[in-house]
Amino acid sequence: MLPLSYSLRNVAARPARSLMTAGVVALVVVASSLFLGLISSVKRTLIDSGDPMNLVVMRKGSDNDGSSQLSLEAYQAIRYFDGIARDEDDQPMVSPQLVVQPFFRTREGGRENVLVRGVDEMAFAVHPAVRIAEGRMLQPSSGEAVVGRGVLGRYAGAALGSELEFGRGRWQVVGILEADGASFESEVWVDVRELANDAKRPFPYSGIRLRAASPADLVALRKRINDDPRYALEAELETEYYAKQSESANTLYILVVGIAVLSGIGAGFGAANTMYAAVQARTAEIGTLRSLGFSRASILSAFQIEAMALSAIGFAIGAASAIALSALLRVLMGGVAFAASTFTTNVVTLRVTPSDLIGAFVLAMVIGLAGGFGPAWRAARMRPIEALRKG
C-alpha cells in the first residue's frame, strides 16, 4: 500500500488544483450549513416553544390564541383546579393571556402583523425558558412593554427605552425578552388588563397557560377541562399546540432540503471533474507506480484518500465561512421573517450550531467519496504501459 503521506503530499504539491476542488466543496458546506442552520432555527422557534408540563386552554374550535376568547369567570374557576403546580408563594401557576395582532411599521417603511401578548406576573413562572435579557420586567397598569429579541430593532420604536405605537396608545419599552430562540422572541408582551382595555375586548382573555404539578396531573387536568360543560373550553399540551403551528413552515423545510440536495449533487460533479483532470495530468506518475509493483487497490485507495482530504479542507474553509456569514446576517438582517399560521410574523434568528456542521461534514465526506471514486477507479484501471505511453 502507498503511505498516507503520499496522498497528503499530492494535495500540497498542487495548490491551485487542490484549492479549486476544496473551494467547490467549501461552497456546498457554506450553503448546507446555512440551510441546516435555518431549519434548526425554525424548529427552535416553533416546535421547541412548548413546555411538556404546560397546557394551553382555549375556546373549543379555536386553533390558535388569536381566534379564541375566554371569560374572567372561566379563568377564576380553572385556576383553583386540583393538580396545578404552585410557585414559592403557594400561588397556582396559571397565566391568563390575551393575544392581538396589530400592524407594526418596519424600519424599511413596510407593515407587518406582530403578535402582542398580554400577560400577568405569573407568565414567567409558567414559561421558565423566557427571561429578561436586558432591562426589566414591565409593571402592571403602567403602559410598559417588553419586546422579544427578534422584534428588537426590526420595527419603529422596538428598542430599549423607546416608545412603541400600536392599538390606541404608546408603550414604553423597558425590557428585552429571550427564550433560547423560541417563538416568544417574536412577540411583544404588555400587561393583560391594559391590553384588554386598549383592544376593547368583551372577553378579557384569549386563553390560559397553566403548569401541571406532575405528568399524572397533566392528564387529569386536560380531561377535566375538556369534559367541563360550563365554558366550552379545550385543553391541549403546549408542545402539541406549537407542533401544529409549525406546519406553516413545511414549505420552508421542503425548499431548504431541496436546495441542499441540489447543491450537493452539483458539488459532487464539480469535485469529480477536478479529480478527473488530476488523473489525466498524472498518467505518467500512475504508470510509474504500477511499474514499481503497486497494486490497483493501493492506487485506488491513494486517490480516494486524496479526494477525502480535499473534502476535509473544503469543509474547514466552508464551516468557518458559514459561522462568519451567519453572524454577519444576524447583524445586517436581525433575523429571517416568515408568516405564521396566526397571521403574524415570526422572526427566526439564524444560528449555525455544531449539529448543523456535523450534517455539512457528512455531506462533504459523501461528496469526496462519491466524487473521487470515479477518477480513482479510472487511475487504478490504467495499465502500466498505457499510462507511461500517455504520460
In this prediction the pTM is 0.72
pLDDT at residue 206, as a whole number: 92
pLDDT at residue 225, as a whole number: 94
Residue 272 — pLDDT band, cuts 50, 70, 90? Answer: low
Q: pLDDT per residue over 118-151, tens digit each?
A: 999 899 999 998 999 999 999 998 999 999 988 8
More confident residue, 201 or 348: 201
The domain ranges of the chain are: 4-47+248-390, 61-231
Residue 49 — pLDDT band, cuts 50, 70, 90? Answer: confident
Q: Is the pLDDT confidence value at 339 over 70?
A: no
Residue whose grid cell is 388588563: 193
Residue whose grid cell is 402539541: 240
More confident residue, 378 or 23: 23
Q: How many CA atoms lie within 13 A of 349 on its CB side?
A: 19
